[in-house]
Structure 1
């Protein structure tokens, strides 16, 4: 299984994905590390990426998922995955085995977090563009929506329980047995 922690910039996906992966001992990928320099430069200057800009980036993430699928490893990925079509590309790395954890919250709360964040290339001004682009998970997309209002630790706990439960469902064993 592969779990993509998704949401707009500032939703906490990088922190949640990393801490969940650490807690469960799973391989982790931060989608920002897969962006070509041209994408980072564009976003740093406040210019939203186009679908054309995103496709090579998404395909490289899907390839990373596919490599871990071949090894039989469960993974955690932090990626905005704002549109269904983007999530479809990510799912192509392991069809039927990619699920999403959508961190969702008010643009006011997330905007405040973005303004307080230092050292990231994504300016707070792009939040409106991301929020407009966001397509929530559809009924036929495997995953869960988690509100970002609670503390990071509570959000991480919810995500860990979700992953543990999904792994247990697939292994027909006690919760988390596939992770040990």
Structure 2
């Protein structure tokens, strides 16, 4: 195997979800189907590298700044959903459950990873809320210890502003059976119960 092919496999193996074996299979498919797979992929990667940037307002990734979500006139501009990552934003967009704006923090507080408040996009969030244009902030961080700590920090930083702070509900997944759920999920579902 040539050095260039080894380099391709090593680069593919660094992608999330691809181990060495999957990277070898992907590299082989790319090289064997050069015109239909490899060349279009190279063109797409070059275009992405040249044009895709974080939005200066919300942190989403797009080829325009501000991004297409921030400039969408049909969005509810007064409702801001705070997420940890762009992947979380994309998941909410796929679900078509939120028609407001977003703010990407860029991660969560994490003592293990050495990530404190200064590494997150909390100050830009405070500035957006301080502008008076936001009436509700939805804290859509994960149900992990780090996600909870991050939500508490954000809530504390926004407590001086006249905005409604809400949190995503936790609990039973659609189609979930009680017997197969963990204790924490069941406890959260009981705490988040609401009248019918």
TM-score by length of 1: 0.32
Q: Which has the higher contact order (CA 8 A, sep 6+)?
A: 1
Higher Cα radius of gyration: 2
TM-score (norm 2): 0.30
More helix by share: 1
